[in-house]
């Protein structure tokens, strides 16, 4: 490769941002969080048992249906509140689990709590009114109108139904990200409206002081986390740093970089590999946030993101004007070098997934020849930041390997022309030291899954495999 100095403002700079304020996350955080989540379900079950739930089920009849309905309602409520906590952007939770795992758990708890809520409604109606009632629907209507809080609960349930339906993969693929994100916000309204009736009339909520204290505490913690970390911290951080667009650079077909400046950016606690939720105050639609990773190592003097045109929001980025105010939430993501202590590094990128890995190349203290970047793209024209990659190759000894061509006709991280090789075998051939390397993977969901599987099959230990998905 030819040694080429990067353009102005694009040379990798020594990291001098907030890394020293982001110590490595203890491994036990994730285990402790999982145990705590399980304990909450055990607690609500114990409270139900203490309120005579088992005796009522054993007695049979309508009371058994009502008791089972109360238990499914308790589980649904507990999981709904845990779901809120999972996506409340609590820094300790984000750093312990990472966005990928949190998103999966959020989806799992969402669907599980929804079906438990459906079971709760059906069992309660049967228990209170009788399964053989000739006016089942009429009595459901009477229940909604006469019981305190049930109108609110019905509105909340309808909002949650809409969120669940639009979260099904088939529906998500037919929606623009902007539309899906706006609809998904109704989940907060659904939770807020669906649960209060239990606090007013549910015997398992108001039947004893321990239950009342537990549920009000869980409500307060969930609501407090949303207010503090989804509203309070972003407001404070934006007032402090006041980010504005400095310049916009076209990197290639459908690919745009935005350089930003602000105040006291050295105090912004962000590391290479992380992303923010971005809003640009450039006109209608500014309220919808979009997740964009940093594409350059944060060094305290400015930030850079690179955006691929995929929808209305990302397409607008190319038309941003210097001086446009930017609002951020974050930083988020666990694709960082906080656990890196030296030694070989292997990075696998596909498409726009190269952006966080590019920023990591500037931060990690690898020795010359220790770092390998494998960059998957369909064509030469789609390779972004070629000049910067050549700079890393020349000045820091990074091995840059391009894998070009259309997709293979099987699930694989390799292009079609190399698909006759086994995935793990090909990876081990390109990087013979892969088994004892720190491996970073970023790209679309299907490709990332295939690359992650290949790395594990090649002998990479789970704690040395770091991923970030570009999916919603």
CA of 22: how far to CAs of 95, 296, 311, 337, in Å? 9, 18, 33, 11
Per residue in 233-285, pLDDT tens? 999 999 999 999 999 998 877 889 999 999 999 999 998 999 999 999 988 77
Query: What's the CA gap between 272 and 200, in Å, rounded?
Result: 48
- Residue whose entry in the numeric block shows the structure tokens 């790209």: 443
Q: Give the pLDDT confidence of 282-311 residue by residue, as tens digits.
A: 887 787 888 899 999 998 889 999 998 766
Whether residue 184 has pLDDT greater than 70: no
Q: Which of 190, 176, 196, 38 is nearest to 105 (CA)?
A: 38
The distance of Cα 401 from the centroid of its chain, to the nearest Å, equals 29
Rounded average pLDDT over 61-69: 83
Average pLDDT over residues 352-363: 92
How many angstroms separate the CA atoms of 152 and 100, rounded?
Answer: 33
Question: Which has more pLDDT, 218 or 347?
Answer: 347
C-beta neighbour count of 235 within 10 angstroms: 12
Q: Is the dihedral of CA 80, 82, 84, 87 positive or negative?
A: negative
Read off φ and ψ for residue 279, nearest 5 degrees.
Answer: -130, 130
Q: How confident is the model at residue 18 (pLDDT cuts 50, 70, 90)?
A: very low
Residues 6 or more apart from 60 whose CB is under 8 A from it? none
Q: Is the dihedral of CA 428, 430, 436, 440 positive or negative?
A: negative
pLDDT, residue 176, reads 64
Q: CATH second-level architecture of 345-469?
A: 3-Layer(aba) Sandwich (3.40)
SS in 3 state form for the chain? CCCCCCCCCCCCCCCCCCHHHCCCCCCHHHHHHHHHHHHHHHHHHHHHHHCCHHHHHHHCHHHHHHHHHHHHHHHHHHHHHHHHHHCCCCHHHHHHHHHHHHHHHHHHHHHHHHHHHHHHHHHHHHHHHCCCCCCHHHHHHHHHHHCCCHHHHHHHHHHHHHHHHHHCHHHHHHCCHHHHHHHHCHHHHHHHHHCHHHHHHCHHHHCCHHHHHHHHHHHHHHHHHHHHHHHHHHHHHHHHHCCEEEEEEEEECCEEEEEEECCCHHHCCCCCCCEEEEEECCCCCCCCCEEEEECCCCCCCCEEEEEECCCHHHHHHCCCCCCCEEEEEEEECCCCCCCCCCCCEEEEEEHHHHHHHHHHHHHCCCCCCCEEEEEEECCHHHCCCHHHHHHHHHHCCCEEEEEECCECCCCCCCEHHHCCCCHHHHHHHHCCCHHHCEEEEEECHHHHHHHHHHHHHCCCCHHHEEEEECCC
What pLDDT does residue 257 have? 93
Say if residues 216 and 222 touch (Cβ distance below 8 Å).
no
User: pLDDT value at position 134?
Assistant: 53
Q: Report percent pLDDT > 70 for the chain.
A: 73
| 468 bridge partner residues | 442
Q: Phi, psi (5° rounding) for residue 329?
A: -125, 135
Tokens of 398: 């990074």
226-231 average pLDDT score: 90
The C-alpha atoms of residue 251 and residue 199 are separated, in whole angstroms, by: 55
Is the per-residue pLDDT at 8 higher than 90?
Answer: no
Task: Give the model's pLDDT for residue 188.
Answer: 63
Where is pLDDT greater, at 255 or 396? Answer: 396
In b/e form, how buried is each residue of 155-170, taking b as 16+ CB within 10 angstroms?
ebbebbeebbebbeee
pLDDT value of residue 419: 85
Give pLDDT, residue 215.
84
Sorting pLDDT into bands at 50, 70 and 90, what band is 316?
confident
User: 333 near 292, Cβ under 8 Å?
Assistant: no
Per residue in 117-165, pLDDT (tens digit) is: 888 878 877 877 654 555 656 666 666 666 655 666 666 666 666 666 6
Tokens for 183?
């609809």
Q: Which of 215, 257, 253 is nearest to 378 (CA)?
A: 253
**Could you state, in order of their start, the residue ranges of all structural domains in the chain?**
28-235, 242-332, 345-469
Half-sphere exposure at residue 451, Cβ-oriented, CA atoms within 13 angstroms:
27
Q: Is the pLDDT of residue 55 over 60?
A: yes
Report the C-alpha gap between 155 and 190 in whole angstroms: 7
What integer best gives the mean pLDDT of the chain?
80
Q: What's the pLDDT score for residue 162?
A: 67
Q: Let me know if the fold of 242-332 is the same as that of 345-469.
A: no
Q: Are strands 255-261 and 303-308 parallel, antiparallel or unpaired?
A: antiparallel
pLDDT of 89 > 70? The answer is yes
Q: What is the pLDDT of residue 81?
A: 85
Confidence of residue 4 (pLDDT cuts 50, 70, 90): very low
CATH architecture for segment(s) 242-332: Beta Barrel (2.40)
pTM listed for this prediction? 0.75
CA atoms within 13 A on the CB side of 292: 28
Written as six digits, the tokens of 345 are: 């590094």
CA 119, CA 135: separation in Å to the nearest integer?
20
For the chain, give the longest Cα–Cα distance: 83
Judge contact between 335 and 442, C-beta under 8 A.
Answer: yes
Res 372: pLDDT: 96
pLDDT above 90: residue 402 = yes
Q: Phi/psi of residue 441, each to 5°?
A: -130, 135
Range in 73-77, 91-95, 98-102, 199-203 with the lowest mean pLDDT: 199-203
Compute CA 86 distance to the chain's CA centroid, rounded to the nearest angstrom. Answer: 9
Residue 13: band (very low, low, confident or very high) from pLDDT cuts 50, 70, 90: very low
Task: Tell me the two tokens of residue 28.
Answer: 């036990």
Quote the pLDDT of residue 2: 34
Predicted local distance difference test score (pLDDT) of residue 423: 93
């Amino acid at each position: 490769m030819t040694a080429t100095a990067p353009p102005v403002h694009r040379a990798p700079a020594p990291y001098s941002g907030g890394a020293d304020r982001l110590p490595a996350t203890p491994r036990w955080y994730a285990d402790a969080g999982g145990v705590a989540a399980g304990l909450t379900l055990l607690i609500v079950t114990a409270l139900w048992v203490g309120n005579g739930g088992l005796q009522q089920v054993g007695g049979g009849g309508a009371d058994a249906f009502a008791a089972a309905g109360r238990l499914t309602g308790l589980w649904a409520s507990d999981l709904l509140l845990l779901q809120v906590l999972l996506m409340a952007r609590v820094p300790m939770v984000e750093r312990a689990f990472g966005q990928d795992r949190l998103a999966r758990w959020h989806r799992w708890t969402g669907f599980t709590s929804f079906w438990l809520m459906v079971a709760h409604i059906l069992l309660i109606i049967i228990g209170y009114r009788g399964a053989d009632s000739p006016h089942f629907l009429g009595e459901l209507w009477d229940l909604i109108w006469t019981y305190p809080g049930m109108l609110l609960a019905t509105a909340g349930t309808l909002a949650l139904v809409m969120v669940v339906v639009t979260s099904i993969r088939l529906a998500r693929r037919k929606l623009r990200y902007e539309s899906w994100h706006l609809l998904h916000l109704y989940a907060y309204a659904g939770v807020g409206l669906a649960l209060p009736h239990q606090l007013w009339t549910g015997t398992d909520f108001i039947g004893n002081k321990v239950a009342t204290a537990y549920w009000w505490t869980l409500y307060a913690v969930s609501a407090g986390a949303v207010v503090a970390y989804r509203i309070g911290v972003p407001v404070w951080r934006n007032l402090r740093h006041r980010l504005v667009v400095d310049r916009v650079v076209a990197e290639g077909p459908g690919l745009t970089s935005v350089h930003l400046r602000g105040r006291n950016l050295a105090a912004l606690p962000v590391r290479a590999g992380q992303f923010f939720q971005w809003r640009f105050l450039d006109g209608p639609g500014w309220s919808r946030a979009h997740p964009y990773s940093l594409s350059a190592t944060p060094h305290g003097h400015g930030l850079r993101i690179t955006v691929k045109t995929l929808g209305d929001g990302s397409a607008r980025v190319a038309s941003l004007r210097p001086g446009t105010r930017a609002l951020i939430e974050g930083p988020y993501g666990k694709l960082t070098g906080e656990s890196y202590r030296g030694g070989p590094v292997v990075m696998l990128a596909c498409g726009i997934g190269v952006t966080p890995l590019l920023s990591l190349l500037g931060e990690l203290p690898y020795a010359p020849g220790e770092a390998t970047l494998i960059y998957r793209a369909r064509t030469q024209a789609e390779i972004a930041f070629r000049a910067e990659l050549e700079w890393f190759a020349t000045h820091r000894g990074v091995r840059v390997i391009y894998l070009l061509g259309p997709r293979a006709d099987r699930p694989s991280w390799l292009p079609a022309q190399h698909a006759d090789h086994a995935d793990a075998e090909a990876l081990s051939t390109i990087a013979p030291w892969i088994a004892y390397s720190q491996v970073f993977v970023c790209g679309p969901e299907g490709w990332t899954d295939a690359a992650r599987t290949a790395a594990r099959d090649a002998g990479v230990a789970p704690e040395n495999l770091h991923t970030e998905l570009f999916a919603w």
